[in-house]
Amino acid sequence: MIYKQLTTKAVTVAVAALIGAGASLTQANDDAILDLLVKKGVVSQREANDLREQADAQMAQAVQDNSKIKVASWLQSLTFYGDFRLRDEFNDQFNNAWGPGVDPSAARSKADEQRFRYRLRVGAMMDFADWVTLNFRVATGQAQGATGETNPNSANQTMTDSGSRKSIGVDLAYATLHPPMLNDGPFGLKIMGGKMLWPTYDPFFVSDMGHDPDVNPEGAGEQLEYKFGEKDKFRLFFNAGQYVLNENKAQEDKDAYMFDQQLGLESKINDHLKLTTVVGYYTTKNLNQVSGTAGTSPNLGNSLHANGTYLDDFQVAYASGELAWNINDKNFLGTPNVVKLGGKVMKNYSTFAKNLTGVSNATDAGDPDQTFGWTGQVSYGDNKKKGQWRVALQYKYQQADSTYDAWTDDDWSNGGTDRKGFAFEATYNIFDWWQVRAAVFDATKISNWTGNAHDQTGYTGYYSTRTQLDTMIKF
């Protein structure tokens, strides 16, 4: 008996030393050895768990002692990430004189524009304890106007000005709270604040209607989910965002905000079908105190007062969804055999948008109500790993006052509303970390409103075709 105890202790010490030394052993090998010893009865499950904890502590201490990057002891993990993209972009534009029977060469608002651009983003994800994550990222961006701030809709930087040094700024800076006691079992809760990724859900679109993925809103957000059914077949979720649109220095009670909330359900119908549906509603506050013709997000479609401010607040209801069909588990020409159908519809119920008498850009007396928008898209394939590719075709119809114009996708006719047309995208992954992309955005003006808000300098008028060729490396 004594011999067996001594033998067990000797083996335990030897295993602990082996795992602690562990530079040449993977975590999977460590676990396999311990599981085998438990199965053979050499050590108990409790002793095996203690060994794992000791090994993890020793490894963490070894990393901290030998790392050239010193961090606070309460920081559990630090992950750097980023990407670099080169782009060749060509934009073919016509002004409001363009139309049937008009010579296109006589209707150009300006010469065709070709730009060579790049985007660099570098970030760090930091985990504190078990319930706080900090995400920080800086990015390039084109400076706008006298303030020197960058366009919130794009981190692209144009190659120009004899190789001058370019702007770089804070792209993300937000904390996420996810307490373990509220994220066990079927429930999940996240609360975030700062300059953040969108807390709300939208299907993947080549050109989004109101949540340009390049925009990182500022404010707070909440995500709550509940999983239920066999093997978590269903996921019910509620997302909300409270965003700061403009800080009014002159009148504190006139700061402009947006409040967005949505309820969704993700359903795994079977092994090959997954359906995600969402209904939502957003409102703005004090938007009529904000200029739609100045700043880093000038108006590109919404109706304005004569002084250039927005007419009033938005009250927009929307619904979106995506059906993912995994045809089979085989690949087609190297990519997953997956088809996705996505769509979104939105309607602005604000009174102002239906009564535009006297507004500078509401000269179309025959159709003053421009409050509806919708989009639909079909895609095939995936673009996450080496050799995979995806193609997507989208149609979008977005009337002038269907949504807040500053946060629409700016690749589609320079952003904004009062446009209809197509978007096409094809991507291919040369490696997991290297992707190439081609995209075309074709947009035509919907209304015949001719006020300043729709025809300001630099606005593309009736017709625009934008072509992009990208190569991107991520790390």
The predicted-structure confidence for 100-120, as pLDDT tens digits, reads as follows 444 555 555 555 678 999 999
Cα 207 to its chain centre, rounded Å, is 12
> Nearest 5°: CA angle at 423, between 466 and 439?
55
216 has a pLDDT exceeding 90: yes
Q: Quick one: 256 and 315 in the same domain? A: yes
State the pLDDT confidence band at 183, using cuts at 50, 70 and 90: confident
What pTM value is reported for the model?
Answer: 0.80
Which range marks the domain in which residue 120 is found? 79-474
73, part of any domain: no
Sign for the pseudo-dihedral over CA of 181, 183, 187, 189: positive
Burial 130-155 (b: 16+ CB within 10 A, else e): eeebbbbbbbbbbebeeeeebbbbbb
In a shared domain, residues 150 and 26 = no
Which pLDDT score, from 0 to 100, does residue 105 have?
53
pLDDT of the residue at 3: 41
Residue 52 within a domain: yes
54-63, 351-360, 385-394 — most confident range = 385-394
CATH number at residue 289: 2.40.160
* Amino acid 99: pLDDT: 44
Q: Of 154-163, 251-260, 332-341, 358-367, where does the model show the most confidence?
A: 332-341
Condensed to tens digits (0 to 9), the pLDDT of residues 433-446 reads 999 999 999 988 88
pLDDT of 30? 67
**Residue 283 bridge partners (DSSP):** 259, 315
Query: Above pLDDT 90, what percent of the chain?
Result: 48
Residue 387 pLDDT level (bands cut at 50, 70, 90): very high
From the number of C-beta atoms within 10 Å of its C-beta (0-12, 13-18, 19+), residue 61 rates as exposed
**Domain count of the chain?**
2
**In the listed set 40, 66, 92, which residue is the last one of a domain according to the structure?**
66
Residue 25: per-residue pLDDT = 45
The answer to the question of residue 224 being in a domain is: yes
What is the residue whose two structure tokens read 């015949």? 448
